[in-house]
Structure 1
Amino acid sequence: MTMFLSLSNTQKARPRRFGYRISVVGAVSFLIIAAWTLVAIFAPYIAPHPVGDIVDFDFFGPVSAQFPLGTDYLGRDMLSRILLGARYTVGISLAAVCVACFCGVTLGMTAAVIGGWFDRGLSRMLDALTSIPSKILALVIVAAVGTSIPILIVTLAIIYTPGCYRFARALAVNINTMDYVTVARARGEGIGYLIRSEILPGIIGPVLADFGLRFVFIVLLLSSMSFLGLGVQPPFADWGALVKENIGGLSFAAPAVIFPSIAIATLTISVNLLIDNLPQKIRDRSEQ
């Protein structure tokens, strides 16, 4: 009896360890993403010079104390242009991925719940849209209606909505066969309730991971469009446009090309690493 009480007191004294294990890589990635987000928000207040001002008569100026990242092909400060370019790269990509994921996930869950002709017709239509290469579709849309920030957001959202739809539909179809969904349908719950309260909670984790990956894809596609001259128009520029407009000086003024490329790489790689190192809840493995 004494031994039993001693073991019980020992177990009660041992603290339970519930929580999330956050890896160093995930934490560093999150800090980099947070830093670029803050830069995008406060860029006009922290940029040393206005985005279009020529501040150096020596084009492709070297890195110096006055210009920490050098100057571009017109003598504009690269640090200011990279900081202000973060507003367009991060802002446009985030807006586009939010629209794409909202539309794709909503349509995917709706198709899974309704099924029948609605599911088949919507799936075939979005499959046809998926069959068009993303860059070609973006070039066609932008060439047809012109270039502006709202058009870029809508174009990128249209391109990535089918992928979000197929991913969400595949998850929702599996959840839709669960017993608790069948019970909810049997007691007369509507489509909106099934989607909001039964399907969405079961797929939210994978959808958030897919959200991060789509964000990376959109950043790279936006940079590609800007490199082709169909992105943000001068004097404003996102990071892809900064690489494109300074590519002619790569052989003798590499900083003007390398630093925007590093900005793109740090953002996209950090998002990928954060997704790969999402914190996982660890169960208490102490003796009971």
Structure 2
Amino acid sequence: MSATARGMSIGRTLRHMPATAIIGFVLIAAYAVVTLFAPVLAPYGQAEIVGAQFEPWGGPFPLGTDALGRDMLSRLIWGARNTVTVALLTTVLAFLLGSVTGLLAAVFGGWVDMVLSRVVDILMAIPALIFTLLLLSALGPGIGNLVMVIAVLDGTRVFRLARAAAMDVMVMDYVEAARLRGEGTWWLIRREVLPNIAAPLIAEFGLRFCFVFLTISALSFLGLGLPPPLADWGGMVRDNAALITFGDITPLLPAAAIAVLTIAVNFVVDWMLHRASGLKD
């Protein structure tokens, strides 16, 4: 496809994009800018104590300070960098684990499919949050343990989708023709299976990111998320929750940041699913 044709295709897509998807893309772009340029945008360091505890809004601290005297605006900005980065890394790892094992189960079938499916069934039979809390309590806090535990448990959902979508493709005549030509497993996955299941997998990536993002925030609220003094939105809600009793909305700011990003990603995912389905508005 030439550059002109590609530009025309992008233009048509933008013209037919609903307002919700545009809002979602704009918000995601804004979060990405804050995440990438947090050291430049934040007035202070994320662990820097710059005032007294719970100072009111205004003056040198537009959003006040927290229980230790750290600037809330700076903590919010650094929290975007820490929370979003860890959630994105965890989602990528979960997606790789789940999609690769799901594709292998669908392509090979037989005992490979049976073993992988039974392992996934066992992991999914245990309530995810309780299992996560148990594993993190046993392994100890830390970003590495947090990422690995959530990625493995959340990868089971990706496995189910990838396996189901790939098995629908594997029964098609063109896949059987490719096998009769002597094409190998890797060729089948790369040329026949992946192109035909890309749309649901991409949409699932967005949904997985939302679930992982919310899980990390919930664990941070419970004290098992990102270790201090790293700024984290879930931990910030917990640290400043006492202000609610005095009518101060400061604890709601990191909660709102979590909610807005989740809604934005869901706007984009809904549009992608609708577009992939081929339905007309």
TM-score, length of structure 1 as denominator length? 0.88
In structure 2, stretches of 5+ residues that fail to align are 1-8
Runs of 4+ in 1 over 4 A off after TM superposition: none
CA distance in 2, matches of 1:167, 1:245: 38
Residue of structure 2 aligned with 1:39, choices 22, 28, 34: 34
- Structure number with greater CO (CA < 8 Å, separation at least 6) is 1
1:247-286 map, 5 Å: 247-252=241-246, 254-278=248-272, 280=275
2:243–2:249 CA contact under 8 A, matched in 1: no
CA distance in 2, matches of 1:134, 1:108: 19
Q: Does 1:129 align with 2:85?
A: no
Paired position in structure 2 for 1:9: none
Paired position in structure 2 for 1:71: 65
Paired position in structure 2 for 1:179: 173
Q: Calculate the aligned-residue CA RMSD, in Å.
A: 2.0
SS in 2 for 1:256: coil
Higher helix share: 2
- Greater C-alpha radius of gyration: 1
In structure 1, stretches of 5+ residues that fail to align are 1-15, 284-288
Paired position in structure 1 for 2:56: 62
Q: Does 1:161 align with 2:155?
A: yes
SS in 1 for 2:63: coil
2:50–2:70 CA contact under 8 A, matched in 1: yes
Q: Does 1:235 align with 2:229?
A: yes
Q: Give the count of matched residue pairs.
A: 267
Q: How far is the alpha carbon of 1:56 from its aligned partner?
A: 1.9
1:108–1:168 CA contact under 8 A, matched in 2: yes
1:60–1:256 CA contact under 8 A, matched in 2: no
Range with bigger deviation, 211-220 or 270-279 = 270-279
Paired position in structure 1 for 2:82: 88
Paired position in structure 1 for 2:19: 24
Return closer, same or farther for 1:247/1:206 CA change in 2, 3 Å cut-off. Answer: same
CA distance in 1, matches of 2:10, 2:232: 45
CA distance in 1, matches of 2:258, 2:98: 26
Q: Deviations over 1:145-165 (max 9, x none)?
A: 211112211111011011000
**Identity %, equivalent residues:** 43
Q: Deviations over 1:34-67 (max 9, x none)?
A: 111121111112100111222222x222221422
